[in-house]
Each structure stands twice: as C-alpha cells, then as structure tokens.
C-alpha cells in the first residue's frame, strides 16, 4: 500500500558560490552538504534579527522540523542514497557495478520513491552524472550531466609577527539551473508569517563560510512537494542530522539499523556580540542523512547542549530529525 506525504519546500538558487566548513580549525576540511543543524541555527539568528528576543526564543526550534539541503536540477529533486543494499542494478556495467553503486550519493525523486517502496530498479550508465554521484533518467537526454562542481583555491593566512601560511579552500559552484532545496514540516501560518521572511533575509546575508566575500547568497522560492511512501514501513529513513535520546537507543534504535556517524563542531554565530563568535561549540557525533532505523522505535531526537565551558547562556544544536517511512526488503 502507498500513501502520500506532503512537505513545504524551499528552493535555494545560489547567486554566488557556496563554501561549507566542517567546523575544524584547519581550513582544508571542507564539507559538501548544507546540514539541517546549520540551517536551523542560521534561521534562528535571522529570526532574532527580524523579530527580536520578545518574539523569538528557544521555542522557535520546536515550531518546525527541517531536512538538510539536497540538490535539485530544474524540476528534478535529488535525495540521499539510503544506507541499505540498494534494489538497483546497472545493466550495462556488470564488471564495475559494485564500484559505481558505492559512488552514488544522490538519487532522483522517481528512483528514490521506488527504493523506499522496496521496488527493484534497473538503470543504464547514461543515468549517472559525469562525477558518478547522481542518478536520474533526466541525464540520459542531457549532454552535460553535472549538478555542481567544486573549485579549489589557494589562499594565505596572515598573522601578526608570524610567517604567512598558505591554505586551500573549496567552493561549490552550481549549474545555472541547479541549487539546493529544503523540506519542512510546520503549520501553514508559521511557514507564511515566519519562515518565508526569515529565508529571504538569510538569502540576502548568505550562508556558510566567507559570507563577507559574498559567498552563500541565494534567492529562495517556496512551494509544496508530494512524495509517495509505503503505508506498511519496516524502517524509517533520516532526512536530517539526528541526535538520539538515551531512551531511544535503549528501546532498540540500533537493532537492524544502517547508518553513518558525522562529527559536528564549529564556531558560534552571534549577531549581537561579535566577540562571542570566536567561541567554539562542543563537538558531538550525529547520525547522518540517509541513515535507516527500525520503524517500531518511536524516534524524536533531541536538542543537544553544545555550550562552551563557562559561557554566558545555553547553546543548542538541533538533533531532532525529519524522518520518512521506508520498506526494506529482508
């Protein structure tokens, strides 16, 4: 049986390159995913600027669930490859199929829905993007199957009374018809009255690293997205970074689970006091997008306290995730 889930969707069309850091002191550790915790924190900062402390507090985090930002190309939406054995084979690459399947990171909505419904799929190599990370029938009719490219630059860090230190940074350049999209669950009124103006401000200010150089600026557009999901799911798939509660693990979260962990750290972003922006958050490990957990375990996740030692107030990292049902063949 199949049912339909409806999400609010925000498409981010970037007007400048996007640069993402993994929160390391070393500049060379570059991320290629705009994660849900980064997005929600950035939206919170913009909400404070727009509406002030009297209207925006920690309850803001409770008002909506948000996924990480996934790529799109024109009207084709890509979703993270689930961490399961894919019901997918490449019929014209029998000798290299395992390597090609391992390299895939993103599958288009049509194939993604078939995967989460437990249906078998057969594709050709023409469905793969040039870098092998994306799968879509759309690529079969396009000569340039590349959603984005990564450009590496050498820069120099200059400190007083010290030798200059060269380092490398990477920036993501999207195809002119490509960008990122975000799925959201919230009330219509909260989306219209709060999130739409907040996303517009965030687009003007930019997101990611080196915003002062113009990086990360985008134009948002808003709509809805329907997705076909299994009615009788065996598992649930994570669209966000997820930090579990202790009781969720005790209730069997890791039984028949397939997942990857990601270490999250980084610096504070404080629009009211720039001196606090040099403080580092505590690092934690979170379950990555595409992780799969058993359906019978009630999952919510938690806000993780990542406040620096002796800091003036609590600092939170969003660990409550957006999940979707999935049918996993035994």
pLDDT tens digits, one per residue of 260-292? 999 987 767 554 445 555 677 788 899 999 999
Residue 24: pLDDT band (50, 70, 90) is very low
Average pLDDT over residues 69-93: 88
For the record, the structure tokens of 153 come out as: 């630059």
Q: Is the pLDDT of residue 57 over 50?
A: yes
Q: What integer pLDDT is reported at residue 160 of this predicted model?
A: 65
191, 194, 197, 199 alpha-carbon torsion, rounded to 10°: -70
Q: What integer pLDDT is reported at residue 22 of this predicted model?
A: 60
Q: What integer pLDDT is reported at residue 288 of this predicted model?
A: 96
Q: What integer pLDDT is reported at residue 190 of this predicted model?
A: 95
Closest to 294 in 3D by CA, of 230, 234, 231: 234
Residue 155: pLDDT band (50, 70, 90) is low
pLDDT-wise least confident of 26-30, 129-133, 172-176, 295-299? 26-30
pLDDT averaged over the chain?
86
| More confident: 195 or 146 | 195
* Burial letters 223-236, b for 16+ CB under 10 A, else e: eeeebebbeebbbb
Q: Is the pLDDT of residue 227 over 90?
A: yes
pLDDT-wise least confident of 70-79, 90-99, 140-149, 222-231? 140-149
292-294 β-sheet, strand order = 292-294, 235-238, 323-326
pLDDT-wise least confident of 82-86, 96-100, 154-158? 154-158
List, in sequence order, every residue forming a beta bridge with 218; answer none if it has no partner: 14
Please say whether the beta carbons of 139 and 109 come within 8 A. no
Q: What percent of the chain has pLDDT over 70?
A: 85
Q: What integer pLDDT is reported at residue 71 of this predicted model?
A: 95
DSSP 8-state class, residue 96: T
């Amino acid at each position: 049986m199949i049912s339909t889930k409806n999400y609010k969707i925000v498409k981010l069309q970037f007007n400048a390159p996007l640069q993402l850091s993994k929160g390391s002191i070393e500049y060379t550790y570059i991320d290629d995913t705009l994660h849900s915790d980064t997005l929600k924190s950035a939206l919170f900062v913009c909400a404070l600027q727009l509406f002030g402390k009297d209207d925006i507090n920690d309850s803001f985090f409770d008002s909506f669930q948000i996924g990480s930002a996934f790529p799109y190309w024109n009207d084709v939406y890509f979703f993270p490859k689930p961490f399961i054995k894919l019901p997918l084979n490449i019929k014209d690459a029998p000798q290299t199929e395992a390597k090609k399947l391992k390299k895939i990171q993103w599958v288009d909505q049509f194939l993604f829905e078939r995967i989460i419904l437990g249906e078998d799929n057969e594709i050709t190599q023409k469905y793969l993007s040039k870098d092998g990370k994306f799968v879509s029938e759309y690529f079969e009719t396009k000569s340039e199957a590349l959603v984005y490219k990564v450009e590496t630059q050498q820069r120099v860090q200059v400190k007083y009374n010290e030798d200059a230190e060269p380092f490398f940074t990477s920036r993501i350049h999207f195809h002119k018809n490509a960008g990122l999209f975000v799925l959201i669950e919230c009330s219509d009124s909260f989306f219209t009255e709060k999130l739409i103006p907040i996303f517009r401000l965030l687009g003007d200010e930019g997101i990611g690293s080196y915003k002062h150089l113009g990086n990360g600026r985008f134009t948002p557009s808003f709509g809805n997205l329907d997705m076909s999901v299994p009615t009788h799911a065996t598992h649930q798939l994570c669209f966000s970074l997820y930090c579990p509660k202790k009781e969720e693990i005790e209730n069997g979260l890791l039984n028949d689970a397939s997942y990857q962990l990601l270490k999250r750290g980084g610096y504070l972003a404080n629009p009211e006091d720039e001196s606090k922006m040099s403080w580092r958050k505590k690092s934690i490990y979170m379950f990555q997008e595409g992780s799969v957990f058993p359906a019978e375990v009630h999952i919510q996740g938690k806000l993780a306290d990542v406040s620096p030692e002796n800091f003036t107030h609590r600092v939170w990292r969003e660990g409550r995730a957006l999940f979707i049902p999935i049918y996993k063949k035994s």
